[in-house]
């Protein structure tokens, strides 16, 4: 039982479920009438891609995690690195099989996502901003995958999955920078380069604030164009975007480890609430 729990922790089960939801939201924002088989198989593929990427991430980050995250599964040794490597391979294979069951477009996207995650874990995350942009792009890709699972000719039609894809890109980019500031000590000791190491914590948090301010403006676009209704406005703008901007300003003023952890967690909660806003709009 404990091994199963540790495996769920290793793959970051909740994060993988959010990836699934992202695909479903993208599909719902694309279809002209409900379609279930393609989106569900694509969502399953997204779950496996996310899980496999998280396992490889922990394998390659094991040294820095001894400082930044000493309670992680591989650092504790509750699952061996060898077992984790086998698990990652199986998860990626399941992702490809699930994608192949949808269509060629989804298979190509999933193959690219797996390649990007491998590149991220083996090289890109050690290059300033390259890893951050990769993670942000993959987050946006989940919504586009939902669109491809329905109709590739409609994915750029507005309003559609391109809207949450752009939102997800900026949201994850901001959170990645905040996490890099949070992990600066472990990254420095392990020799990993990051934006905070290059330009400092204060300037990095300023970049995060500017990016989030851009996101705040972008969340208003669907309202100005009357694509989305009042519920979206309340959740996306007043519950998520503006309060998080205020929190980032507070963190910039006092970037303690505790505040950075609060900020990282709040951004994750914000992602969930953003998905709720888009789901509510899709069902509405």
Q: How confident is the model at residue 42 (pLDDT cuts 50, 70, 90)?
A: very high
Residue 161 · residue 28 · CB < 8 Å = no
In angstroms, the CA 12 to CA 21 distance is 15
In angstroms, the CA 197 to CA 183 distance is 10
Give the residue-averaged pLDDT of 268-282: 81
Given this model, what pLDDT does residue 33 score? 83
Given this model, what pLDDT does residue 55 score? 93
Q: What is the CA angle 175-178-181, rounded to 5?
A: 150
Q: How confident is the model at residue 220 (pLDDT cuts 50, 70, 90)?
A: very high
Residue of 94, 106, 93, 88 lying closest to 42 (CA atoms):
106
In angstroms, the CA 133 to CA 198 distance is 16
Q: What is the pLDDT of residues 157-213, one digit of tens each?
A: 888 899 999 999 999 999 999 988 888 877 777 677 888 888 988 899 999 999 999
Residue 211 · residue 170 · CB < 8 Å = yes
Give the residue-averaged pLDDT of 34-53: 95
Q: Is the pLDDT of residue 284 over 60?
A: no
Q: What is the pLDDT of residues 242-260, one digit of tens each?
A: 999 898 988 888 778 788 8
DSSP for 169-196, written as a single string: HHHHHHHHHHHHHHTHHHHHHHT---HH
Which CB contacts under 8 angstroms, 24+ apart, belong to 190-196? 190/63, 190/64, 190/67, 191/126, 192/64, 192/125, 192/126, 193/126, 193/127, 193/128, 194/128, 195/128, 195/129, 195/132
Distance of CA 248 to the CA centre of its chain: 19
For residue 200, the 8-state DSSP code is -
The tokens 């929190």 sit on which residue? Answer: 247
In order of start, what are the domains of the chain with their CATH numbers?
Answer: 2-283 (1.10.357.140)
Reported pTM: 0.89
Residue of 202, 130, 125, 211 lying closest to 168 (CA atoms):
211
Q: What is the pLDDT of residues 107-162, one digit of tens each?
A: 999 999 999 999 998 888 888 888 899 999 999 999 999 999 998 888 888 888 99
Residue of 148, 140, 188 lying closest to 164 (CA atoms):
140
Q: What is the CA angle 5-81-90, rounded to 5?
A: 70
Distance of CA 37 to the CA centre of its chain: 24
In angstroms, the CA 78 to CA 74 distance is 6
């Amino acid at each position: 039982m404990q091994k199963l729990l540790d495996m769920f922790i290793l793959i970051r089960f909740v994060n993988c479920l959010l990836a699934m939801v992202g695909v479903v939201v993208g599909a719902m924002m694309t279809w002209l009438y409900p379609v279930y088989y393609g989106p569900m198989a694509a969502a399953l593929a997204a779950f496996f891609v996310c899980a496999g990427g998280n396992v490889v991430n922990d394998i390659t980050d094991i040294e820095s995690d001894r400082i930044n995250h000493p309670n992680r599964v591989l650092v504790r040794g509750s699952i061996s690195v060898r077992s984790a490597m086998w698990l990652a391979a199986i998860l990626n294979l399941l992702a490809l099989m699930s994608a192949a069951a949808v269509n060629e477009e989804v298979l190509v996207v999933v193959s690219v996502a797996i390649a990007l995650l491998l590149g991220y874990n083996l090289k890109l995350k050690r290059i300033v901003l390259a890893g951050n942009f990769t993670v942000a792009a993959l987050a946006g890709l989940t919504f586009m995958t939902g669109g491809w699972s329905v109709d590739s000719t409609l994915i750029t039609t507005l309003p559609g999955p391109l809207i949450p894809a752009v939102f997800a890109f900026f949201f994850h980019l901001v959170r990645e920078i905040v996490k890099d500031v949070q992990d600066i000590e472990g990254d420095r000791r392990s020799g990993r380069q990051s934006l905070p190491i290059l330009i400092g914590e204060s300037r990095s948090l300023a970049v995060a604030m500017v990016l989030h301010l851009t996101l705040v403006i972008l969340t208003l676009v669907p309202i100005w164009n009357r694509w989305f209704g009042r519920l979206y406005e309340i959740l996306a703008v007043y519950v998520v975007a503006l309060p998080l901007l205020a929190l980032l300003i507070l963190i910039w003023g006092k970037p303690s480890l505790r505040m950075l952890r609060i900020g990282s967690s709040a951004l994750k909660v914000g992602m969930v609430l953003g998905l709720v806003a888009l789901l509510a709009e899709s069902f509405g």
